[in-house]
Each structure stands twice: as C-alpha cells, then as structure tokens.
Amino acid sequence: MIWKPGDCAAPGKTPMGVDSRGRIVNRVSAPARYPFSAVVGMDDLKLALLVNAVSPAVGGVLVRGEKGTAKSTVVRALAALLPDLDVVEGCRFGCDPADPDPECPDGPHADSAVPAERPARLVELPVGASEDRLVGSLDIERALTEGVKAFEPGLLAEAHRGVLYVDEVNLLHDHLVDLLLDAAAMGTSHVEREGVSVRHAARFLLVGTMNPEEGELRPQLLDRFGLTVEVAATRDPQLRADVVRRRLAFESDPEGFAAGYARDEAELAGRILAARKRLPGVVLTDAALRQVTAVCAAFDVDGLRADIVTARAAMALAAWRDHAEVTADDVRDAARLALPHRRRRDPFDAPDLDEDRLQEALDQAGDADPKGQGEPPEGDGPDDDPGGGGGRGSGGAEAEGTESGAGEQAPGERPGEAEHDPAGPERPHEGGAGEDTGTGEQRQPRPQDPDQGRRAEVGETYRPRLFSLSGVGQGAPGRRSRAETPYGRTSGARVPRSAVHGLHLTATLRAAAPHQRARGRTDPGLLVRSGDLREAVREGREGNLVLFCVDASGSMAARERMRAVKGAVLSLLTDAYQRRDKVGLVTFRGAGAQVELPPTSSVEAGARRLRELRTGGRTPLAAGLMRASDVLRVERLRDPSRRPLLVVVTDGRATRGGLEDALRAGARIGARGVHGIVVDCESGPVRLGLAARLAAEMGGESVRLEELGADALSGLVRSTRRAA
C-alpha cells in the first residue's frame, strides 16, 4: 500500500508513520524530533540520506560541515521516516522472522517464532566509546571460571536493520572506525576473545558527521563511506531567518510543531517504502553503466569501489524518482555525491567535483553509445522531492560548499590536473602572489609593506626524519612515540585493575597452576579463579602534540630561506597528519609572538596558515619561546596524557630581547620535561651556531635544515661511512 495525501490526519493530530506492511500507524511513544521535511535547504544532504534509506547497500553518508549547520538534526530526523520492522520476539539482535540469522547468538529461531513489530532504531555511537561497547563483550571471567559463554551485545547489534549515527566520526579512534566500516561493508560483526568467537548480523545505515576543522579521516577510511556531502550555513538573510523562526517554534512546542509537518513526514515515509519495493525492478542499462564508468575514469578515482557505489546510488535515485531505468540525471546526481571525497590526492585537499567536467564525461559517454541510448532525458517533470534536484551544495549555500574545494586550484589549470603532478601526492599546492582565491577572482600581489612583511611561496616537500619522544607514554593511539595502548603487540601481563580487558591466557594459566593441589584438583586440567586472571599489557604507538614555533623575522626571509623553511614545516605537518598528531603553530617576528593555530587535529588548517605566513621585522626569539611555553602549559591541563614535542624553526639570531633571554626561556621549557627539536636555519659561510646553543639549553636535539629530510640524512650517513 502506498500512502496518499488523503489518508493522513489533518495537521495538529498525532504524527503518522508507515509500518513494514505499508499501513499508516500512529507514533506517540517517542518524544518529538525535529521533522525531516521542516529542514530549510540542505538539498544534497537530504537527498543522500534518502538514497541510503532506499538502498542501505550504497554504504552510508559522511556529512562534512562547519559547526552549527544542523547536521545532527537532519540525521536524527531521518530515523522517524524509516518503516517499522518485524523482529523475532525476545531476540536481542533484531532478527527478521521471515529470514532469521542462522548464526544468531540468541538462536536458532524456529519457523514458528513469534514476530513483534518495533520502529527502526537510531543508535548513536559516542566518540569516547570502547571497543567492547561497539562490538559487544564476552565475559571472559565467567567463560574461564564457570564455562559459560556469556555475550553482551554492543551498539552494532542494536543498530541492526536501523541507523547507526557517529557524530564527530573524525575524532573516533582509527581502530574503532575500521571495525565500524568492516561491519558496515560485510553486514556482520565478529567478536574474538582468547579463542571464544561470536558472530551476528549487523546491517545498518551508517551516517557520520564531522567538522573538517577538527581533523580529517584517513583517505582509506574516507573511501569506505558510500556518499559524502559538504554542508555550509546559508548566507541568505531570509533563509537564515526562516531557520531561526522554525527552530524557535519547535523549541516552544515540539509536539505541535511536529504535528504541523505530519502530512509531509508521512508522505516521505510512504515514498521511501514504495521506492524500496521498486528498487529490485530498476534496470541499469548498458548506456547508464557506460556513463557511470566513464565518469569514474574521467575523475581518476582509485579502485572500483567508486563505480560500484555510483551505480548503486543511481539505481536508488531511479527508484526514488519512480524511473523504470537509470537515467543520465540519476548518474549525474549519484556521481556528485559518490566521487568528491575519492578524488583527494593530498591530505590537505578538500573534496570537490567540477560539474562542467562531469557533464562533459556524461556527454562523451552518451555520444559513444552506438544505439543512442545514453542521451539524457528531456526531464523528469516537476521534482517535488527534498533534494531531488541537481543543485550544488547544501543548506542554501550551494556554491560555498563546493567552491571551498576549488580554492587551491591554480589559475588556468583544468580541474583534476593537480593529481597528475609528477612530484607525487606529497607535493603541496603552492600559495603566494597571483593565486586563485576560489571565487573566480585572482588575488593580486600584495605591496611590500614593511609592517605587513612579505609572503614566500612554499618550497618542495619531502619525507622528513621521524622525531619521537623517549620513554613509554599513555596518550591517544597514533603512530609516533612508544606508548601503552589497548592495541599493539603484547609486552607483558599484570593483575587487572578493574574488569578484565584483553586476557593474557598464558600468564593466567601460570598464576593458577601452583594452586591446583590446594584447590583439590586431581584430574587433568586447571581450576581457574578470578584472582588468577591476568590482563595483557600491549605496547603500540601514540600520537603526540607537535607544536611548531617558527621564526618569521627578516633574517629568515634573507636569501629566500623562508621558502625552504615553509617546505620543511609543511613536510613535518604532513608527517604529523599521517601519525595522527595534534598540531599547533606559533610564529614570532616584529614586536612579539602570536598563536597562528591553537592545538588542533586539523593539520589542513595548519597548512593553510603556513602558506599565508608573512615574514619581516626583528626577531623576538624569547617572546616566541615563552608563548610556546604558555600554549604547552594550557594544553597539558586539557589533555594530560598527550605528550608534547616542540619544534623550533629558527636561525637563533635574537635581535629583540637578546639571546640570553631566549636561552633562559629555552632552559625553562627543558626543565618542564618538554622534548625539543631545534631546526637550525642558519646559512652562509660564517655560522654562529646560536640554534645549537638553544637546543643544548632545552636539553633537546639540533638538526640543520638541509639534514631534515630522511633521504638527506641517510645520504649524509652513507657519505660519512665512505669517508671513514
């Protein structure tokens, strides 16, 4: 049964929904959520969510956007539109009575299992969740001491056949993201603990939101999301007023506001159910498939996942729009959502997609069709679905969402040419005079104002040396310094401090063995008690706080050294991105020092600030070190477990405050246990070695700028050995 407008109660009545059999039902148990149909703008975001609601096989949605753009509101509103589910009564894993999971831990379920009906769930995964909370946990203590295989389901089981929502997914640990995306791709979750194994179905619609300012996902994880959408707040005052008006109305009377959109909500729910039923009959013609593959090839995406996701999304769009076959418009809109995040080649690239090039690829694929079947249709008629059109961007600020990714493009360069740079993916986009601003206007060179300083271009980047901290930390898992982490190689065992996490089986058996006679054990085997349990101590790598303190004075600008310095710092920033560090940037020149970038996980923001950095003026080295010390002190209060690494980039020529003040400031930093690296930028035939003196006072390490690269260092070592 498909819902028709006349079937719904009038506004002001109880909100309506559609059950799994197409019946209109009342939903009064849950508190009112902001209605999906009441969201202003956000066309692409709503379209991407609806596509996944029609076909969860598309692979989920990653929503990227600045804070305060209602990302979470839209996602939470989607769950109310999903059809109700028939589940086996009493099954904690939500098995379908018509097709129960044969390996369900609560099974096997008989053919006569009693069905129960419940709404589709929206399960939220908090950033601080543990692995056991995500995948579930086995009670190892009961398994060993009582022989009971007790499994407590996690969030993956709870989200089965519903929506799993991860807010700030970029802040989730990589290990958890791997588990999450593996379960989403395979449709099952496996829990392995010391030889005890549990498997259960875990099919869900995965939605993640993130603020790029707080850090990016690794490219291989980014690729696992089916679709991505960039959202930005509209700059239209009228639309902003409409958003505020609706939000205030909802907060003053949630039930009444939701009831006013009940008709629209029920219509959307009915369309989702009808589209799901139409989806198996949608035909992906050879012409449409040729367009899908031509578009993916034209944008030079890696692998074939993009082709598969685009094809699935195009079929879901066709079902949503009631098309019997996939059309060129369906392929175009699917490509706009499936390809942008798969085109990144540099960690600092923003996802983007040039729509002129997209249309060119579609036209060429259509022209190549010998039967003439690849030409786009005249149109679909009036498009009344939310987000069903081909508008760019979301939230009424379509151009802003897509232009942000084009701001790095050089004047006159065709989109996508940067990916073919022979320098490889580590070559950054260079800033400087005459660069494109991303708005169609070319930024003119700034006058050489001595107060403003001048901006040098960024030099070549390279693979830098690995700088790590001594000792073993306990910070956030990463890839820089040694640390005790939940993941990594087993380095020992200890008595559990609370509940057992990661049992060390050998140490447990060794602890239990001496007591077997006292416990009356005479037959083969061991009697294990709770006091015998030992948990594994694992050693891995942690991410650190890498704070750059960069000399931007006039002496650094001499002989174009600043270009090389920027290239070196950008290389270190790229290395920090790959090692999952937090980064900060302090610069000093002229009258004092300033924090260009507070410590953040957004290495992209650090690269952007570095490119815009200007040089000139005197050298307040002491002020720069004191400002860096203040930043480290505050950050230690916020995150005591994350150990800092201070990288000072200078030639050591302190012309304001004096060298002695700078050396005293460095000594205070070293006395607080901060590991320091001084990159010596001094050049010329006569060198004073001031940077090396500063490194000695800090108790840190001094490295010359030309020796910073790993290749340069290995070459230096080889030449030294040959000379010997």
Catalytic residues: 305
How many residues are present in the chain?
Answer: 724
Q: CB atoms < 10 A from the CB of 599, how many?
A: 22
CA-based angle 571:576:578, to the nearest 5? 100
Distances (CA, A) of 354 to 143, 303, 408, 422: 57, 20, 13, 22
* CA neighbor of 650 nearest in space, from 627, 628, 688, 678: 678
Residue type, 609: R
Q: CB atoms < 10 A from the CB of 387, how many?
A: 24
Distance between CA atoms of 73 and 716, rounded to whole angstroms? Answer: 56
Beta strands, E only, 292-431: none
* CA neighbor of 490 nearest in space, from 537, 453, 421: 537
Pairing of strands 163-167, 205-210: parallel
* CA neighbor of 115 nearest in space, from 242, 25, 20: 20
Yes or no: say if 136 and 151 are a contact pair by the CB < 8 Å rule.
yes
- Torsion angle of the four alpha carbons 683, 685, 687, 692, in this order, in degrees rounded to the nearest 10: 60
The partner residues of 118 in beta bridges, in order of sequence, read: 85
The partner residues of 165 in beta bridges, in order of sequence, read: 124, 207
Q: What share of the chain is helix, strand, coil (3-state, %, to 5)?
A: 40, 20, 40
Yes or no: say if 473 and 482 are a contact pair by the CB < 8 Å rule.
yes
Q: CB atoms < 10 A from the CB of 106, how many?
A: 18
Distances (CA, A) of 156 to 102, 176, 181, 205, 696: 18, 12, 11, 11, 52
Yes or no: say if 279 and 316 are a contact pair by the CB < 8 Å rule.
yes
Residue 258 contacts by C-beta under 8 Å, 6 or more apart in sequence?
Answer: 15, 32, 33, 34, 35, 250, 265
Yes or no: say if 409 and 415 are a contact pair by the CB < 8 Å rule.
yes
Yes or no: say if 603 and 461 are a contact pair by the CB < 8 Å rule.
no
Per-residue exposure over 229-257, b if at least 16 CB sit within 10 Å of its own CB, e if not: bbbbbbeeeebbeebeebbeebeeeeeeb
Yes or no: say if 601 and 171 are a contact pair by the CB < 8 Å rule.
yes
Distance between CA atoms of 402 and 398, rounded to whole angstroms? Answer: 7
**Structure tokens of 662?**
């700078």
Burial of 353 (0-12, 13-18, 19+ CB in 10 A): buried
Residue 177 contacts by C-beta under 8 Å, 6 or more apart in sequence?
Answer: 169, 217, 221
Rg (CA), the chain: 30
Yes or no: say if 166 and 76 are a contact pair by the CB < 8 Å rule.
no
Distances (CA, A) of 266 to 34, 259, 320: 14, 11, 15
Using CA of residue 92, residue 97, residue 100, residue 106, what is the dihedral sign? Answer: positive
Q: What is the DSSP string of 161-173?
A: TSEEEEETGGGS-
DSSP type of residue 65: E
DSSP type of residue 101: -
Residue type, 213: E
